[in-house]
Structure 1
Amino acid sequence: MSPNVKSNLRVASASGSVTDRRHAFADLAKNEDVHFIVGDWMSEYNMTTRGGGKVDSNGGSEEFETSFTEAFLPALPYLESKNIKVAVNAGASDTKKLYDLVVREIRARELNLNVAWVGGDEIFDVVKKAAADGSDFRSLTTGKLLSEWECDPIYAQCYLGGFGIAEAFKRGANIVLCGRVADASPTIGCAAYYFGWKREEFDKLAHAFVAGHFIECSTYVTGGNFSGFKSLPSPALSLGFPIVEMEASGEFEVTMQQDRDGIVTVETCKAQLLYEIQGPYYYNSDVVAILDKIKIKQVGTNRVRVTNVGSIKPPPTTKVGLTAKGGFQAEAHYFVCGLDIEEKAAMLESQVRVALDETKYHCLKFRVNGRCPEDPYTQDAATVDVRIFAQSRDESALSINNFFRPVTDTIMQSYPGATFAVDARQAIAKPYYEYWVTLLPQSSVKHVCYIPSKGLEISIPPPTDTQDFLYEQETYETNAPIDLTALNPTTRAPLGNVVHARSGDKGSDCNVGFFVRNADEWDWLRSLLTVEKVRTLLGGDDTGKPIFRFELPNIWAVHFLLKDHLDRGVASSSTYDVLGKNLAEYLRSKWVDIPNKFLDRGRI
């Protein structure tokens, strides 16, 4: 399909993570009428592990995502026969090596598919030179300077936009392989190519950016990770993957595969919109989408229309993730059961702390996970996990003799029923990485589109019409809150009985968005959920760090950004909720006063 066509663009998403179901790529290519298939294989976790692996092997390993090839290779015949183009970020830290593999496989099958790859995201040399020249970098999560970081970076990767992808398609590529382009950049690149958009068409690009966000997590928008999961049509065993249909204006509709489980509704779309955003301004290297006036409307069965996305110019900077070796970590688990859980766990913690040399650990956490219900039905239901988690720069501090033995040797003097997990594999020290997020000028990045079959290496210039990045976005409480007592009578019940929510991570920041289903519930929600109320609901998990708040009134949603809430992020976190996905479910479980008329409508 050539640019500037009149028909709507159809883009399907075949993956939302490195662990997504691998059958989707071939299934979509074979059975759906689409112009492009995109997919997201990158996360902050595999940015650190792939980058660290490349450094440790001195480039000898293959640090692309092999789960992509498992999904992609069976789709090749259908991609050729149906002229479906592909853009993915599965190259991770070795995009050229992935390119070489894909070309070999295409030749072995005697297919006529042209492959390009996009580079420039690996920028450790740029960061090192800037630091040597006296530049310092500021963390997007903690606000601290790189010179204050206790770790030494070994790898750096930045987020590229979609115009390298668009250029590859323009030059005849059928398949474009990328490393760390932003999650939505493949969709932006597909749309910019298909419609022939220029860099300055910001409203159009902003809509494409948001469209990419809706489908970048694959089945999250068709019912996965959805707080209303009980409303999914039975049996919900194989949720369909999403498809975006976009107009030349950028406005779009979200739908899904035919004859599959799952749903596309206003609620599933709201949930995905609120996932991992940082405020009303949603940043990409190509454009900034403004979300607070967005409109989401059901226009058919499994079909939702999205309009009214605002825009401003892109920033002159792009996000950079720095990887460092953090040291080593290990963990051991005890089980406590029945009555007096807190007292039993406290006794264990006191005894173990005496047995360990705490000066050897920069992180030592004791966490009680779960609770015993009243009058438990089974012993398993009454059993709670106590996790002892430690990190040290020194591997020997976490040896069996220095960590696991002191932890377990206290068993005979400890609480009634003391039992530790006999599977000690997690207690063996393993290396981990620290991840640190900052900004770098886009002008410092050598964004390049490579089409080796044509001998082309095309430099992609950075945007020149820009607007500075906002480190802190607008935060505010609601305007003219209502008197909540006017909605009496109320019943004390879990917030999640009537309120949906979705949460996620960006570095050590955690965001959570809440929304309701009915217009008359909006005034109650926006008046109830103040920053102070969220701190109260967090309870013992309130870190006291900044919380930013804004509203999306057209979709009856309130969004909060909890700064530096996640203990250094996914690669190094000491918590179970390393991705922040369960913060929403935790807060939905907290009890508040809910108007009876809302409860009478039935639980979510």
Structure 2
Amino acid sequence: MSSRSRPVRIAGASGSASDRRHAMAAFAKAYPMDPIDVIISDYMSEVNMTIGAGRKVDASASSHAQDNAFLGPAGPAFEASFVEALEPALDDLARYGIKVAANAGNADVRGLYSVVCEMVARKGLGEKVKVAWISGDEVLPAINEGLKNGTSKFKNIYTGQILEKWEFEPIYAHAYLGGMGIAEAFRQGAQIVVCGRVADASPVIGAACWFHDWRREQLDELANAFVAGHMIECSNYVVGGNFSGFKALEADGRWVDIGYPIAEIASDGGVVITKQKHSGGMVSVHTCSSQLLYEIQGPWYFNSDVTAVLDGIWFEQLAVDRVALRGVKALPPPPTTKVGITARGGFQAEAWYFMTGLDVPEKARMTEAQLRKGLSPYSDKFTTLAFSVLGSPGEDADSQNAATCVFRVFAQAKQANDIAPQKFLRPVIDNIMQGYPGSTFHLDFRQGIPKPYFEYYVTLLDQAKVSHKVHFADKETLIPPPTLTKTFPERQPSQPRTQLEIDLTRFGPTTRIPLGRIVHARSGDKGSDCNCGFWVVHQDEYVWLRNLLSIDTVKRLLGKEYDETRTPKIEIERFELPNLRGVHFLFRNLLNRGATSTAGVDFLGKNCAEYLRSRHVDVPVRFLERGRL
């Protein structure tokens, strides 16, 4: 197929395993009025990767009955929510020939493939709708072989630890694959392609490569498709979900039912982001900036197929709900790909008390001292024991709920018996009679029952060690690794402060208010790291922002979250995106072992931005007279 003259229209119908299920069917049904070529769905995260890995290993060994209880009702090692979304869409997908690519296979892609084929056959669509599956992301044998022959130490890209020093035993390893397998499956005639851990943006790369018949060497086009994939892989996020400007969506009820995005990608790599017709939310320069700044870790954005260079990126509002992507640069991909290794970490439990009104810090100190004493006969077996206050009571609050916050007790241990109810939950709730004034605990004791958790380790594997294959029509096709690659430094470029500093007093009189009154921000998780990007509307505000937000200033804004004594050490990296009027920070190890095992409640790092926006700084008064969006 030669490159087509029109753009390919790719719809993003899911951003996680817990996204709403209706978007795929809605896109397919609306085809006559709002045609699309491909629907992509992203289901993978570090949380469900570890759960899928545990289910796959348990299903194979049938030897971890207690661990299975943690996983809740018996479930597959693939993402069943994809099946729920696909079934009502199938007839329209077949009618209009819309292609689908989804990374819902998790740790059992072949199992998902079988379920989808059975569903297609039951609907009498087997002759029309052809299904392919992608393998190669399960790489624990390659990791073990590399350790055995000494070809790699498999350093953790977040902590610097080497794998043989990790105290946990790996049970599964997911490699992040590129989009070339998806492209090949479409070329061979597949309409639905199910994958495991292809990278979030890889389905969009694959769809664009197929539609325009791009070659691997077309790095500029691939880089633009890669960023387009990043823009729509989180579904609603680029349309106004998780957006610090969300209050602008209240008008006309646009925040009630936020729509799903569409990326239009031309044969030369040009990208326009839009959304479903007649849907809520909006697509603007600012919603696009928000999503762009999410989960990146520096100016280099890596995929197995290409590296996108982001520091010159910008967006142009072409019309209502139509935004063009500009300024993406390309470099070859690295010779390695990211690998997430899962291990069984142990067991965890928690309990909550409620504290209301006055003297909450003193009430918390009293309770912690009492509970440490009560738990002392058992806590030497705990690997983690953490106490925290969630929220603060409203001053002169107009209701009791508004004056109440949560005191959380959290524990982890190697064995379930080490935090059994009589060793954790019982001592915690037995403390009530000697407690603070108003002492009240949460009656949902299920939180205090030990449940297994997973540890997650992220490293790199040579792409040549990955057996990336397409399975379609009773044949296998091997996808070779890229021949043109570039080795990058371990750390991204970082500026501790802006290059040309300006005295902030030049901006005139100031008032001390929350940073977020004039600054947008967005944050997210990658392993144990958390990223946070800030941006503003006006150019003079950006001059002020990049001078204000040095690494030293951000350390102060993080407050107690920046703990210099923590191991592994928290480190901060910074770079500027002048065309976005943005400053981006990477907080290494802020999430302390990552989403699956952290003791914090912001396990996905999404609220870090909102916390930092709430911190008070001296803001020029003249900025407050302007509109924000």
Q: Which residue of 1 aligns with 2:622?
A: 597
Match of 2:407 among 386, 408, 423: 386
Corresponding residue SS for 1:443? helix
Calculate the aligned-residue CA RMSD, in Å.
1.1
Q: Deviations over 1:315-359 (max 9, x none)?
A: 110000000000000001111111110111111101111111221
* Residue aligning to 2:24: 25
Q: How does 1:184-203 map to 2 (within 5 A)?
A: 184-203=201-220
Q: Give the corresponding residue for 2:225.
A: 208
**Residue 518 in structure 1 maps to residue 538 in structure 2:** yes
- 1:414 is displaced (CA, Å) by 1.7
2:68 — aligned with what? none
Whichever residue aligns with residue 471 of structure 2, its letter is Y
Deviation of residue 498 (structure 1)?
0.4
Q: In the TM superposition, what is the alpha-carbon distance from 1:56 to its structure 2 partner? A: 1.5
Contact persistence 2:315–2:580 (CA under 8 A) = yes
| Paired residue secondary structure (1:97) | helix
Q: Return the alpha-carbon distance in structure 1 between the equivalents of residues 394 and 98 of structure 2.
A: 54
CA 1:197–1:59: 2 relative to 1, 3 Å: farther
CA shift in 2, pair 1:429/1:121, >3 Å: same
* Residue identity opposite 2:49 in structure 1: M
Matched, 1:251 2:270: yes
Distance 2:390 2:434 in 1: 22
Cα contact 2:521–2:534 (8 A) shared by 1: yes
Question: Paired residue for 2:164?
Answer: 147
Asked if residue 117 in structure 1 is aligned to residue 117 in structure 2, the reply is no
1:78 and 2:118 correspond: no
The answer to whether the 8 Å contact 1:120/1:445 transfers is yes
TM-superposed deviation, 1:468: 1.1
1:40 aligned to 2:30?
no
Deviates more, 1:398-407 or 1:155-164: 398-407
Amino acid of the structure 1 residue aligned with 2:10: V
For 2:341, what is the secondary structure of its paired residue?
A: strand
2:141 is matched by which residue type in structure 1? D
SS at match of 1:234: helix
Q: Residue 24 of structure 1 contacts residue 241 of structure 1 at CA under 8 Å; is this kept in 2? A: yes
Q: Residue 95 and residue 259 in structure 1: after superposition, are their counterparts in 2 closer, same or farther (change >3 A)?
A: same
Query: Among 57, 79, 83, which residue is 2:59 paired with?
Result: 57
Letter in 1 for 2:18: T
Structure 2 residue 297 is matched with structure 1 residue 278: yes
Contact 2:12 2:39 in 1 (8 A): yes
Matched residue type, 2:80? T
Q: Which residue number in structure 1 is paired with residue 69 of structure 2? A: none
Report deviation, 1:603: 5.8
Find the aligned partners of 1:177 and 1:603 in 2 and give their Cα distance.
42
Is 1:234 the counterpart of 2:252? The answer is: yes
**Cα deviation digits, residues 539-572 of structure 1 (max 9, x gap):** 1111332100000001100000000110211111
**Alignment map for 1:156-175 (pairs within 5 Å):** 156-175=173-192
CA deviation vs aligned residue, 1:253-277 (integer Å, no higher than 9, x gap) = 0000000111000000000000000
Instruction: Answer with 240-249 or 128-137: which moved more.
Output: 128-137
- 1:298 is aligned, of 308, 317, 323, to 317
1:576 aligns with 2:620: no
Letter in 2 for 1:36: V
Cα displacement (A) at 1:57:
1.9
Q: Is the 8 A contact 1:63 1:92 kept in 2?
A: yes
Distance across 2 between alignment mates of 1:256 and 1:88: 19
TM-score, normalisation: structure 1: 0.98
Partner of 1:483: 503
Selected match of 2:101 from 66, 75, 87: 87
Partner of 1:566 in structure 2? 591
Aligned residue in 2 for 1:373: 394
Give the distance between the partners of 2:44 and 2:267, measured in 1 at CA: 28
Q: Give the whole-Å Cα distance in 2 for the aligned partners of 1:303 and 1:502.
A: 21
Q: Which amino acid aligns with 2:468?
A: H
Partners of 2:362 and 2:186 lie apart in 1 by: 63
- Distance (whole Å) between structure 1 residues aligned to residue 3 and residue 475 of structure 2: 24
Q: Is the Cα–Cα contact under 8 Å of residues 435 and 507 in structure 1 kept in the other structure?
A: yes
- Residue of structure 1 in register with 2:70 after alignment: none
Q: 1:128 aligns with which of 127, 140, 144?
A: 144
Which of 233, 237, 240 aligns to 1:220? It is 237
Question: What whole-Å deviation, never above 9, does each CA across 1:546-603 have from its counterpart, x for those lacking one?
Answer: 1000000011000000001102111111111000000000000001111111111146
The question of whether the paired residues in 2 share the 8 Å contact of 1:154 and 1:325 is answered with yes
Distance 1:318 1:395 in 2: 35
Q: CA deviation at 1:470?
A: 3.0
Task: Find out whether 1:335 has 2:354 as its counterpart.
Answer: yes
**1:105 maps to amino acid:** M
Output the CA distance in 1 between the equivalents of 2:194 and 2:475: 15
Superposed displacement of residue 234, structure 1: 2.8
| TM-score in terms of structure 2 length | 0.94
C-alpha distance in 1 between matches for 2:132 and 2:395 = 60
| Structure 2 Cα separation of the partners of residues 566 and 259 of structure 1 | 39
Deviations 1:496-521 (A, max 9, x none): 00000000000000000000011221
Q: Which amino acid aligns with 1:93?
A: A
Deviations 1:416-461 (A, max 9, x none): 111111220100000010001000000001000000xx22100000
Q: Which amino acid aligns with 1:283?
A: F
Farther off after superposition, 470-479 or 64-73: 470-479
Q: Does 1:362 align with 2:383?
A: yes
Task: Quote the Cα distance in structure 2 between the aligned partners of 1:65 and 1:59.
Answer: 20
- How far apart, CA to CA, are the structure 1 residues paired with 2:627 and 2:610? 18
Question: 1:59 Cα deviation (Å)?
Answer: 6.8
Question: In the alignment, does 2:571 pair up with 1:551?
Answer: no
Contact 1:411–1:418 (CA<8 Å) still a contact in 2?
yes
Given the alignment of the two structures, is residue 442 of structure 1 paired with residue 463 of structure 2, yes or no?
yes
Pairwise CA distance, 1:413: 1.2
1:507 is aligned to 527
* Contact kept? 2:537, 2:628, Cα under 8 Å: no
- Kindly provide the amino acid, as one letter, of the partner of residue 21 in structure 2: R
Say which SS state the counterpart of residue 14 (structure 1) adopts. Answer: strand
Mapped partners of 2:576, 2:362: distance in 1:
42
Mapped partners of 2:627, 2:278: distance in 1: 29
CA–CA distance in structure 2, aligned partners of residues 98 and 531 of structure 1 = 46
Asked if the contact 1:316–1:469 (Cα under 8 Å) also holds between the matched residues in 2, the reply is no
Q: 2-side partners of 1:196 and 1:167: how far apart?
A: 10
Moved more, 371-380 or 506-515: 371-380
SS in 1 for 2:422: helix
Amino acid at match of 1:223: G
Cα 1:603–1:185 change in 2 (3 A) is closer
CA contact (8 A) 1:481 1:523 kept: no
What do the CA deviations read for 1:87-124 (whole angstroms, capped 9, x no partner)? Answer: 11011111111111111111111111111000000111
Q: CA shift at 1:38, angstroms?
A: 0.4
Aligned to 1:455: 474
Deviates more, 1:208-217 or 1:227-236: 227-236
Quote the Cα distance in structure 1 between the aligned partners of 2:120 and 2:439: 58
Equivalent residue of 2:111, what SS?
Answer: helix
- Which residue identity lines up with residue 524 of structure 2 in the other structure? G
1:66 and 2:80 aligned: yes
Q: Secondary structure at the residue paired with 1:193?
A: helix
* Structure 1: tracts of 5 or more residues without a match: none
